Amino acid sequence: MSEATHARAATGRRTTRVSLDGLRKHFDNAPAPAIAHLDLQTEEGEFISLLGPSGCGKTTTLRCVAGFEFPDEGRVRLNDEDITDLPPEKRDIGMVFQNYALFPHLTVWRNLAFGLEMRGIGKAECRRRIDDVLAMVQLTALAERYPRQLSGGQQQRVALARALVIEPRLLLLDEPLANLDAVLREDMRVFIRELQKRVGITTLYVTHDQSEAMVMSDRVAVMLGGKLLQFDVPEAIYMRPRSVEVARFIGRSNLIEGSVEGLTDEPGPYPTYRVSTALGSVPASHDQPLATGQPVHVTIRPEAIRFRNDGPYAGRVQSAYFLGSTVEHTVQCAGGQGLLVQTSPGRRLDAGAQAAFAFDPGHAWIISAAP
Amino acid sequence: MSEATHARAATGRRTTRVSLDGLRKHFDNAPAPAIAHLDLQTEEGEFISLLGPSGCGKTTTLRCVAGFEFPDEGRVRLNDEDITDLPPEKRDIGMVFQNYALFPHLTVWRNLAFGLEMRGIGKAECRRRIDDVLAMVQLTALAERYPRQLSGGQQQRVALARALVIEPRLLLLDEPLANLDAVLREDMRVFIRELQKRVGITTLYVTHDQSEAMVMSDRVAVMLGGKLLQFDVPEAIYMRPRSVEVARFIGRSNLIEGSVEGLTDEPGPYPTYRVSTALGSVPASHDQPLATGQPVHVTIRPEAIRFRNDGPYAGRVQSAYFLGSTVEHTVQCAGGQGLLVQTSPGRRLDAGAQAAFAFDPGHAWIISAAP
Amino acid sequence: MRTKRKPLATRVADAVGLAYVGAVYVFLLLPIAVIVLMSLNAGEFLTFPPQGISLRWFGALFANEAFMRAIGTSLQVAAIATVCSTVIGVAGALYVVRHATRLREGLRMLLMLPLMLPEILTAIALLFFLYASGVGTRTMFGLLVGHVLVTLPYVFTNVASSLYNQDGSLEQAARSLGASPWRAFVRVTLPLIKPGIITGALFAFVISFDLFNMSLLLKGIGMTTLPLQLFDYLRWDFDPTAAAVSTVSIVVTLVAVVWVDRTVGLRSLRFG
Amino acid sequence: MSAVMTAEAPPRSSARRKARPGRGAFWLIAPALVLIGVFLVLPYLNIIAMSLRPTAAGAPYGAGFTLANYAHALGDGYILGVLADTLVLGATTVPICLLLGYPVAYHLARSRSRWGSLLYVLVLSPLLVGVVVRSFGWLILLSGNGVINRVLIDLGLVETGLQLMNNRLGVTIALVHVFLPFMILPLVGVIQSIDPTLEQAARSLGASRLKVFWRLVLPMSWPGIQAGTVLVFVLTLSAYVTPVMLGGAQVKTMSVLVVQNLIDNFQWPAGAAQALVLSACGMVAVWVYARLTGRFMKGLQ
Amino acid sequence: AQNLVVNTYGGRWEKFWRSDLMPTFMKAAGVETTLDVGLGKNFVANLRAAGVAKPPYSILMVNENIASLVRAEGYFEPIPAAKVPNLASVYPILRNAEDNGVRGIVSTIGIGYRKDLVKTPPKSWSDLWSNPEFKGKIGLYQIGNTAAMLFLLMTAKLYGGSQDAIDRAFTEIKKLLPFTQADWSGTLSTMLTRGDVTVAVIDFPEIVALQKKGVPVEMVVPTEGVLAFEQSFNVLKNAPAKEEAYKYLDFILRPDVQEMMAKEFFTSPTNTRSKLPSDLAKDVPVSGDRMKSIFQFDWAKVNPQVAAITDRWNREMK
Ligand SMILES: Nc1ncnc2c1ncn2[C@@H]1O[C@H](COP(=O)(O)OP(=O)(O)OP(=O)(O)O)[C@@H](O)[C@H]1O
Ligand SMILES: Nc1ncnc2c1ncn2[C@@H]1O[C@H](COP(=O)(O)OP(=O)(O)OP(=O)(O)O)[C@@H](O)[C@H]1O
Ligand SMILES: NCCCCNCCCN
Ligand SMILES: [Mg+2]
Ligand SMILES: [Mg+2]
């Protein structure tokens, strides 16, 4: 173990592929499985977010990877090594807990030293590594403090440092920002992401905050009810949701029911169809062939809709909230369809105004009912 | 008391002006006063947010109003009635605590009944009022539950209901959303604001989350170090900050140092000056007369800057983060000035690209050094 | 609500409350003060108020071999019993809090049982049992068993409540950092529940040091503990040596309590 | 003590696998089970058997089994009277402890004074003095010519000394004294954990300080009250030295009677039966009490 | 020689055993001893829990009334006169049938009173009933103490003619109510010292000890006779160290050892050959010929009634 450690110390980074194959976990007394069936493969050095509503199985997945929970079925592999049955302390995985789980009786320094001591790493090497990591998280000055003497953000960084200093093969983070206030949370997001890029360590990140997942991840895995709904880069998840659930969960979105009228020949990266909806006939894109008459949903993001006097659609502004950098309008359209429209403050309309609006077919995406 | 109560019950709403006059509070053993000097007058039925960084005196202000803290100097008035020396139970003010402070040994129903019983209100009237309020917060079905059997958002609503059911003269909320997750927080913001509008009760709301203050308030009071920095409608706070501190604290902003070159005759709601900065000569607005050569700051919001090939200013994109509905760029300009630029995803530039940009003089605001 | 501007009614209410609490403290201290004063009595009798002040009875005490031996025995028994009940109680609390599932409440009741049964009856039951099983009371064994039984619930409740308050994810954090279950326990759990353990041990020690009925019946032949010695002594001799012993044992326990306060803080004392 | 917490990894079967931490850790509870099983349960079985034996002259007990001892313990007016007296003693000691202890616990829980530790020592002080000497201290204070009576006489408040001991009063005073710590400590813990913002919430809803106490703090203290009262009750039932030293011949408790029978008169079967009746009554009382008070604690986990 | 377990009571008893008796015995007989301190009833509880076959003691000192009970259960055996030569010169009233046990130490019990608080000193037991000065100021023992049983049986004899007149005794003693009941001598001494009681049924050694400390108390040998705590020495049937037990018993009964006890301890010598120095006559009022005045009772008849008597005393004397 100590030899391997030295090798790692030399390179300074260890990249790993994680592979979850057919994971299933059903707790005793639970009505439904926490993880119904999960397949998920990462690339080396990727930052993956597990995103989903409360109770969808994110934590359980992470705990199976960490070794605190043993799956009923399926395997967990790191670089093809099957670790499903290893106890947690043999897995060499760094974990950051939602409440940080810092050892309250140890100083920052000794919190960081803990994992190294467990590995029997010598004094000098310990000191070097801890110094490095402390510098990295900008906590060198606070090494002798106890956790309770630190602010939330500082505690968070200690937790991160403690997981990183053992130079693990994989980093797991379970809602590490949930306990921070909005301002601090934003700072920590950037911090974690930049650190992860610098160290290059493969990371699984659990959150139920979609904007967090969007900003931070290389790829996002959206879960619901113990199943994986979609696993793709953030932009695809946001712009091209595969299901109504994903569209609803990721950002604010307008979902309009309709049925396919036919393919058009508009140019664009994806084929454009016309869809008959309450708004009228609407152009929207999809990457799969669709049959005429097929019932579908069209999703349009609020910021993709623009008020334009010559716009083909019309409605009445019901409310307008100033959100600082943007204004959010609710618009009641013909046919009873309600829409959310987000504009910059310069283009706001006041409540009660008549609005005409438009959107690009490239920003309207079709979700086919049967995925 | 019971007569007054009936009168209130009849109208269903009680609006009140709050007036804080020269409030000062210095805790024993504290190096600086928690409230140095505070003057603040509200209108009837207004929703006022107290906004400011941690430790700026928001909670202390609220506690002085609630009667848990007695100010060293100054008076607290409700509709010209001086309540500074009244004990909390005689003030008739509803308060919602950050941690909700629900009575764990009482059911939801009995939590709501508590304040009514303290006022000696009869059974039937109690029942009627509680039923009303429960319906209002959509918790009728959960009346017999204990607090620990409720979700965070439900507990939050019970806390709100408990403060409202006594039909207080004033509603105080101390960071009531800080313990909720991001998704729930957004829902509750809307909920609280709409409820407040419906009931029409004057409300003081404490938060350190600027976007929360922006969305919810009629007016925002920005505090720092026990002093009131600015008290105005959200848009004015956001667009026309009076000090560098306010600009920094409210939203992301670009602050550029410079000196006044002179007045221009560009049209607009406010006079436009030219300011000499590291970017060059920049047009910006201000509502007060400024002397030529006067050192000032210019603040420009990231979303007010547009990439335009013919823009008068130039720089290099250093990073671009996809945030879902927007993309955030950092741009390094000539003269070493760094700028934050926010665009819609359609107008993004990639890291490394050369960027030309522009902004309206109406969106660049001058902060004069001596306010 | 604690400032210059407190209303008068509030201040009066505070004063009345404080006076009441003060009176209870006086009540708690009264007999102890009497005993300490009596031990300083210069006269021949255990009387109050003392007839002059002297330390002669402390001299008599330190010269009294029987008392010194009894003190030694009591310290020894209390120390051994404390160690045993602490080890057994900590392990038991760990199991009940962290591992027991369905049997949890049953086990908790079982470990609290010695507290629920009258000590004198337990002592007699044990006495018969010891002789029936051939162990007898020739050694200290029976006495120790009795003391461990009686002190176990005190350790158990204190440790169990500090375990409940401790965040389970800390142990998991230790595991994920490479600690085996045992090392996670020693390095993380143990230091964190230390206040509970020390409080429990303190109670165990104080209770054992003063255990009467159990010792009366189970003491080994030829030995005696301090409470028994005092009882026997007061049966025949009513001089202030007895008060001197008590004063000494108050001082000794006080030192222990102050030590606990220094290490874990008395504010962590809890019960039940 | 090795391998404390969890067992090794579960077997490599692909069927439903479970982490079974309970099994490997079973031996953690084993010492306690052995101790209590062998040295408490077994001996008590023996005592129960003994209580079913007939009395005999010239032997500890006679042959055969009988319910006569229970019939006597439960049928004899005098013994029932002593039993009732004992339960009443418990039932008076407990509320007095509560009345005296609660304000102290509240003060201790809420005080941030530097003297906090000293106050804890004061609360613990009755436990620091042995039972024998402590009772003796009370004897000095309470006897006919005792300190208290002399002070009262000197102050002219009474003519002749009051009867403060060799009666229920003396025993109760001394028992309250020694069991106060057992009431105060659980209460301190519970009161400390009551969130002060709850009190503020109640006040902002219009409750005066008294109402806040009555409607909020007191009901929320129930877990501590329950723990303390049960503890004091149980300890009172089995107290021996204090009733003997301060009760004289006037106050007989079941413990005293049991010792008299078992130790003084060698009436083992009868004594055992009486002792078991006492234990049973105590446990039933505690159970009923826990049941009744459980209702007050519904909302409190 | 084997180590011998020797039992005694606490306080002055223990002090005397440790500092005088045991070292002297060691010197005389070369036997190592272990001292077990406690109360008669605890010794017996131990004995009975252990059973006849494996007693923890070889020789046991307890009050004769208690000894007679255990004797009936077959724990003891007769003492061979050859092994204990001093047995022969013990006062006959202190010897048992077949020499199964012998009463080796006697502390006589009479009346003690406060010289300063009592105008007419008592002369006889009947004065307790007749002197109105004593009303409410009498100290007796609780029934658990041997002295209370002795007082009851004596009252039966004095008023009912025989120790069997228990009913009569109860009637008479109830006339003394209210009186204070002490659980042991120390308590009674304190009550006398403090004046809580002015007259008490108490053993003389206790009074002497008080006098030496300067308490104004006096003792009275009642005209009807005296009571006594009689320490009965019994050799166990299955004694682990029987020879040593005989040696110890013989030592206890030695005339000089008895004199030593009287001097240090104010007990009445039980060996007819002991000579009490005249300066001790005041402190040990009953010795020599006056030993005959010690009331004697048939414990075999009392023992079966002890439980009932205790019970009745509990109910009636309060
Ligand atoms: N130990 C357990 N026993 C029984 N059910 C459990 C256990 N742990 C989790 N569950 C259930 O499994 C499901 C998934 O839980 P999990 O903690 O993985 O959700 P999550 O996605 O992390 O949610 P959250 O965002 O609220 O943390 C939930 O329904 C939960 O109630
Ligand atoms: N009881 C007190 N004693 C001494 N200082 C206090 C006390 N309460 C508050 N302060 C100090 O007064 C200042 C203002 O505190 P306050 O709680 O009002 O801040 P806040 O704006 O509510 O901050 P936050 O956002 O962290 O809640 C802080 O510096 C704080 O440390
Ligand atoms: N001072 C006289 C001692 C007599 C011993 N009697 C012991 C009786 C115990 N119940
Ligand atoms: Mg989770
Ligand atoms: Mg605050």
Contact by Cβ (8 Å): A129, A161? no
Answer yes or no: is the C-beta of E185 below 6 A from any ligand 3 atom.
Answer: yes
CB contacts < 8 A, B to C, total 13
Question: C226-269: per-residue pLDDT in tens?
Answer: 888 888 887 777 678 888 888 888 888 788 778 877 877 766 66
**Does B258 share its domain with B330?**
yes
Residue written as tokens 């006076």? C19
**Residues lining ligand 2, judged by CB closer than 6 Å?**
B 27, 29-30, 34, 52, 54-60, 208
Show the tokens assigned to B103. Answer: 């009575």
CATH of D75-300, one of 1.10.10.10, 1.10.3260.10, 3.40.50.300, 1.10.3720.10: 1.10.3720.10
A 110-149 residues with CB below 8 A of B? none
Whether residue C3 is predicted with pLDDT greater than 50 in this model: the reply is: no
Which whole number is the average pLDDT over D68-82? 89
Residues of B in contact with A326 (CB under 8 A): 303
* Residue of E152 and C219 predicted with greater confidence: E152
In this prediction, residue E252 carries a pLDDT of 95
Shortest-distance Cα residue to atom 18 of ligand 1 = A57
pLDDT band at A51 (very low <50, low <70, confident <90, very high): very high
Phi first, then psi: give them for residue C119, nearest 5 degrees. -60, -40
**Does A219 share its domain with A298?**
no
Mutation site for C-interface testing, chosen from D4, D87, D122 by largest number of C Cβ within 10 Å: D4
Is B245 contained in some domain? no
Question: B105-115: per-residue pLDDT in tens?
Answer: 899 999 999 99
Encoded amino acid at B99, one letter = N
pLDDT band at A371 (very low <50, low <70, confident <90, very high): very low
Whether residue B3 is predicted with pLDDT greater than 50 in this model: the reply is: no
* Residue of D245 and E216 predicted with greater confidence: E216
Q: Which residues of chain E have pLDDT under 70?
A: none
Q: Among C249, C35, E214, which Cα is nearest to D140's?
A: C35
In this prediction, residue B182 carries a pLDDT of 64
Query: Which of the listed residues A217, A239, A261 is the one where a domain comes to its end?
Result: A239
Contact by Cβ (8 Å): A51, A221? yes
Q: Which of A144-158, C34-48, C80-94, D147-161 has the lowest mean pLDDT?
A: C34-48
Q: Which of A11-15, B221-225, C115-119 has the lowest mean pLDDT?
A: A11-15
Q: Which of B317-331, C145-159, C257-271 has the lowest mean pLDDT?
A: C257-271
**Does A198 share its domain with A257?**
no
Q: Which of C65, C132, C236 sits opposite E12 (nearest CB)?
A: C236
In this prediction, residue C86 carries a pLDDT of 96
In this prediction, residue D12 carries a pLDDT of 37
Asked if C172's CB is within 8 angstroms of A115's CB, the reply is no
**Does A10 share its domain with A138?**
yes
Nearest-Cα residue of chain D relative to residue B106? D299
**Does A203 share its domain with A324?**
no
Shortest-distance Cα residue to atom 19 of ligand 2 = B55
Is B246 contained in some domain? no
pTM over 0.90: no
C-alpha of residue E10 to centroid of ligand 3, in Å: 10
Which whole number is the average pLDDT over C141-167? 89
Whether residue C7 is predicted with pLDDT greater than 70 in this model: the reply is: no
Which whole number is the average pLDDT over B185-210? 85
C-alpha of residue A27 to centroid of ligand 1, in Å: 9
C-alpha of residue A84 to centroid of ligand 5, in Å: 46
Answer yes or no: is the C-beta of E204 below 6 A from any ligand 3 atom.
Answer: no
Other CB atoms within 10 A of residue C33 CB: 14
Q: Among A131, B186, C238, C270, which Cα is nearest to D224's?
A: C270
In this prediction, residue A9 carries a pLDDT of 40
Which whole number is the average pLDDT over B32-37? 92
Asked if E35's CB is within 8 angstroms of C136's CB, the reply is no
Quick one: which ligand is closest to A209's CA?
1
In this prediction, residue C270 carries a pLDDT of 59
Whether residue D23 is predicted with pLDDT greater than 70 in this model: the reply is: no
- CA angle centred on D84, ends D81 and D87, rounded to 5°: 150
Nearest-Cα residue of chain E relative to residue C235? E186
The domain ranges of chain D are: 75-300
Residues of D in contact with B95 (CB under 8 A): 200-201, 204
Output the CA–CA distances (angstroms, integers) from residue E139 to A184, D223, E191, E217, in the order listed.
Answer: 81, 47, 8, 14
**Does B282 share its domain with B212?**
no
Asked if D216's CB is within 8 angstroms of B148's CB, the reply is no
Q: Total structural domains in chain A?
A: 2
Q: In sequence order, which residues have a C-beta less than 8 Å from that of residue C252 and are 6 or more positions away?
A: none
Shortest-distance Cα residue to atom 3 of ligand 3 = E229
Q: What is the CATH number of the domain that holds C75?
A: 1.10.3720.10
Nearest-Cα residue of chain E relative to residue D81? E315
Whether residue D117 is predicted with pLDDT greater than 80 in this model: the reply is: no
Q: Which of B27, B49, B173 to mutate to test the pocket of ligand 2 (most atoms within 8 A of CB)?
A: B27
In this prediction, residue E109 carries a pLDDT of 93
Answer yes or no: is the C-beta of A33 below 6 A from any ligand 1 atom.
Answer: no
Question: A97-130: per-residue pLDDT in tens?
Answer: 888 899 988 999 999 999 999 999 999 999 999 9
**Does B325 share its domain with B270?**
yes
The rounded distance, in Å, linking the Cα atoms of D138 and D166 is 11
* Residue of B129 and C239 predicted with greater confidence: B129
Which whole number is the average pLDDT over B59-66? 94
Residues of C in contact with A92 (CB under 8 A): 178
**Does B116 share its domain with B224?**
yes
Residue B85's domain spans which residues? 3-239
Is A23 contained in some domain? yes
Q: What is the CATH number of the domain that holds A33?
A: 3.40.50.300
Is C21 contained in some domain? no
Residues of B in contact with A235 (CB under 8 A): 322, 345
In this prediction, residue B346 carries a pLDDT of 75
Q: Among A348, A178, A328, which Cα is nearest to B215's?
A: A328
Answer yes or no: is the C-beta of E52 below 6 A from any ligand 3 atom.
Answer: no
- CB distance from D298 to chain B under 8 Å? yes
Nearest-Cα residue of chain C relative to residue B26? C3
Asked if C187's CB is within 8 angstroms of A114's CB, the reply is yes
Arithmetic mean of pLDDT over chain C: 84
Phi first, then psi: give them for residue B294, nearest 5 degrees. -65, 130
Rg (CA), chain B: 24
B 223-242 residues with CB below 8 A of C? none
Query: Which of the listed residues B239, B267, B296 is the one where a domain comes to its end?
Result: B239
- CB distance from E11 to chain D under 8 Å? no
- CB distance from E36 to chain C under 8 Å? yes
Whether residue B23 is predicted with pLDDT greater than 90 in this model: the reply is: yes
Is A267 contained in some domain? yes
In this prediction, residue B10 carries a pLDDT of 34
Q: Which of A313-317, A342-346, B211-215, E170-174 has the lowest mean pLDDT?
A: A342-346
Asked if B105's CB is within 8 angstroms of D222's CB, the reply is yes
Q: Total structural domains in chain C?
A: 1
In this prediction, residue A3 carries a pLDDT of 39
Q: Which of C1, C6, C10 sits opposite B68 (nearest CB)?
A: C1
Mutation site for A-interface testing, chosen from B56, B344, B360 by largest number of A Cβ within 10 Å: B344
Shortest-distance Cα residue to atom 16 of ligand 2 = B57
**Does B183 share its domain with B157?**
yes
Q: Which of A20, A49, A58 to mutate to test the pocket of ligand 1 (most atoms within 8 A of CB)?
A: A58
Residue C192's domain spans which residues? 66-269
**Does A287 share its domain with A220?**
no
Please classify residue D119 by burial: count the beta carbons closer than 10 Å to its beta carbon, then call 0-12 exposed, 13-18 middle and 19+ buried: middle
Asked if C1's CB is within 8 angstroms of B69's CB, the reply is yes
Question: D184-220: per-residue pLDDT in tens?
Answer: 988 988 888 888 888 888 988 888 888 899 988 998 8
Q: Which of B181, B210, B321 sits opposite A208 (nearest CB)?
A: B181
In this prediction, residue E120 carries a pLDDT of 92
**Sequence-ordered strand ranges (E) for C63-107:** none
The rounded distance, in Å, linking the Cα atoms of B93 and B91 is 5
Subunits adjacent to chain D (3 or more Cβ pairs under 8 Å):
A, B, C, E
Taking a 5 Å cut-off on Cβ, the residues next to ion ligand 5 are: B 59
Asked if C167's CB is within 8 angstroms of A101's CB, the reply is yes
Sheet bearing B170-174, strands edge to edge: B81-82, B73-78, B18-25, B35-41, B227-232, B219-224, B47-51, B203-207, B170-174, B93-96
Taking the CA of residue A50 as reference, the ligand 1 atom at the shortest distance is 21
Is A265 contained in some domain? yes
Q: Which of E11, E49, E209 sits opposite C235 (nearest CB)?
A: E11
pLDDT band at A5 (very low <50, low <70, confident <90, very high): very low
Query: Which of the listed residues A205, A239, A273 is the one where a domain comes to its end?
Result: A239
Residue written as tokens 């201000």? B286
Question: A170-219: per-residue pLDDT in tens?
Answer: 999 998 887 676 667 777 788 888 888 888 899 999 988 888 888 889 99
A300 to chain B, closest Cα gap in Å: 11
Show the tokens assigned to A311. Answer: 């716009």
ipTM score: 0.76
Show the tokens assigned to A6. Answer: 């030295």
C-alpha of residue A56 to centroid of ligand 1, in Å: 7
Whether residue D231 is predicted with pLDDT greater than 90 in this model: the reply is: no
Output the CA–CA distances (angstroms, integers) from residue E255 to B62, B69, C14, in the order listed.
Answer: 95, 88, 74
- CB distance from A178 to chain B under 8 Å? yes
Please tell me the number of Cα atoms within 13 Å of D29 on its side-chain side.
24
Whether residue C191 is predicted with pLDDT greater than 90 in this model: the reply is: no
Q: What is the CATH number of the domain that holds A303?
A: 2.40.50.100
